[in-house]
Amino acid sequence: MRSVRAGQTGLVGEPWVLHVDLDQFIAAVEVLRRPELAGRAVIVGGRGDPAERAVVSTASYEARAFGVGSGMPLRIAARKVPDAVILPVDQEAYLAASGEVMSVLRARPGATVQVLGWDEAFVGVESEDPESFARDLQHAVLEKTRLHCSVGIGDTLVRAKVATTFGKPAGVFRLTEANWLEVMGSRPTIELWGVGTKVSARLATLGITTVADLAAADPDGLVPEFGPKMGPWYAQLGRGDGARTVDDTPWVARGHSRETTFQQDLTEPGQIDDAVRELAAHVLADVAAEGRPVVGLTLKVRYAPFFTKTYARKIPRTADPAEVLAHALDLVAKMEPGRPVRLLGLRAEMAMPEDSRQGHTPTRSGW
DNA sequence: TCTGGGGTCCTAGGACCC
DNA sequence: TCTGGGGTCCTAGGACCC
For residue A260, the domain's CATH number is 3.30.1490.100
Domain that holds residue A285: 255-350
Instruction: Judge if A264 and A224 occupy the same domain.
Output: no
Residue A361 lies in a domain: no
**Averaged over A32-38, what is the pLDDT?**
93
Residue A75's nearest nucleotide, by CA–C1', is B1
For residue A62, the domain's CATH number is 3.40.1170.60
Instruction: Judge if A61 and A143 occupy the same domain.
Output: yes
Instruction: Judge if A70 and A123 occupy the same domain.
Output: yes
Say how far A311 CA is from C11 C1', in Å.
8
Of A43-47, A70-74, A243-247, A277-281, the one with minimum mean pLDDT is A70-74
Query: Rounded to an integer, what is the distance from CA A129 to the centroid of its chain?
Result: 29
Say how far A296 CA is from C9 C1', in Å.
13
Amino acid in the structure at residue A291: G
Strands A341-350, A245-247: pairing kind: unpaired
Residue A306: the pLDDT is 78
Instruction: Judge if A235 and A323 occupy the same domain.
Output: no
Residue A225 lies in a domain: yes
- Does residue A3 surpass a pLDDT of 60? no
Residues paired with A344 in a beta bridge: A260, A301
- Does residue A365 surpass a pLDDT of 50? no
Instruction: Judge if A237 and A205 occupy the same domain.
Output: yes
Say how far A218 CA is from C3 C1', in Å.
38
Residue A156 lies in a domain: no
Say how far A106 CA is from C12 C1', in Å.
41
Residue A159 lies in a domain: no
Instruction: Judge if A31 and A75 occupy the same domain.
Output: yes
Contacts of A107 (CB under 8 A, 6+ apart): A140
Instruction: Judge if A201 and A97 occupy the same domain.
Output: no
Question: Within 7 A of a protein CB, which nucleotides of strand C?
Answer: 9-18
Residues with CB under 7 A from strand C: A 116-120, 161, 192-200, 296, 308-314, 334
Residue A330 lies in a domain: yes
Question: A11: pLDDT confidence band, cut at 50, 70 and 90?
Answer: low
Question: A181: pLDDT confidence band, cut at 50, 70 and 90?
Answer: very high
**Active-site residue list of A:** 120
Amino acid in the structure at residue A308: T
Instruction: Judge if A233 and A333 occupy the same domain.
Output: no
Residues with CB under 7 A from strand B: A 46, 53-55, 57, 70-73, 75-76, 226-231, 253-261, 282, 286, 305-306, 343, 345, 347, 358, 361-365
Q: How many domains does chain A have?
A: 3
Residue A158 lies in a domain: no
Residue A67 lies in a domain: yes
Residue A69: the pLDDT is 86
For residue A204, the domain's CATH number is 1.10.150.20
Q: What is the 3-state secondary structure (H, E, C) of chain A?
A: CCEEECCCCCCCCEEEEEEEEECCHHHHHHHHHCHHHCCCCEEECCCCCCCCCCECCEECHHHHCCCCCCCCEHHHHHHHCCCCEEECCCHHHHHHHHHHHHHHHHCCCCCEEEEEECCEEEEEEEECCHHHHHHHHHHHHHHHHCCCEEEEEECCHHHHHHHHHHHCCCCEEEECCCCHHHHHCCCEHHHCCCCCHHHHHHHHHCCCCEHHHHHHCCHHHHHHHHHHHHHHHHHHHHHCCCCCEEECCCCCCCEEEEEEEEEEEECCHHHHHHHHHHHHHHHHHHHHHHCCCEEEEEEEEEEECCEEEEEEEEEEEECCHHHHHHHHHHHHCCCCCCCCEEEEEEEEEECCCCCCCCCCCCCCCCC
Instruction: Judge if A185 and A237 occupy the same domain.
Output: yes
Instruction: Judge if A225 and A272 occupy the same domain.
Output: no
Residue A219 lies in a domain: yes
Residue of A193, A177, A254 whose CA lies nearest to A21: A193
Residue with smallest Cα–C1' gap to B2: A73
Question: A354: pLDDT confidence band, cut at 50, 70 and 90?
Answer: low
Instruction: Judge if A294 and A331 occupy the same domain.
Output: yes
Contacts of A5 (CB under 8 A, 6+ apart): A15, A124, A244, A245
pTM, two decimal places: 0.90
A277 burial via Cβ count (<10 Å: 0-12, 13-18, 19+)? middle
Say how far A140 CA is from C4 C1', in Å.
66
Are A176 and A159 in contact by the 8 Å Cβ rule? The answer is: yes
Are A42 and A85 in contact by the 8 Å Cβ rule? The answer is: yes
Residue A6: the pLDDT is 63
Instruction: Judge if A83 and A146 occupy the same domain.
Output: yes
Decide which of A213, A241, A269 is a domain's last residue. Answer: A241
pLDDT single digits (tens) A209-265? 999 999 999 999 999 999 999 999 999 999 999 999 999 998 889 999 999 989 889
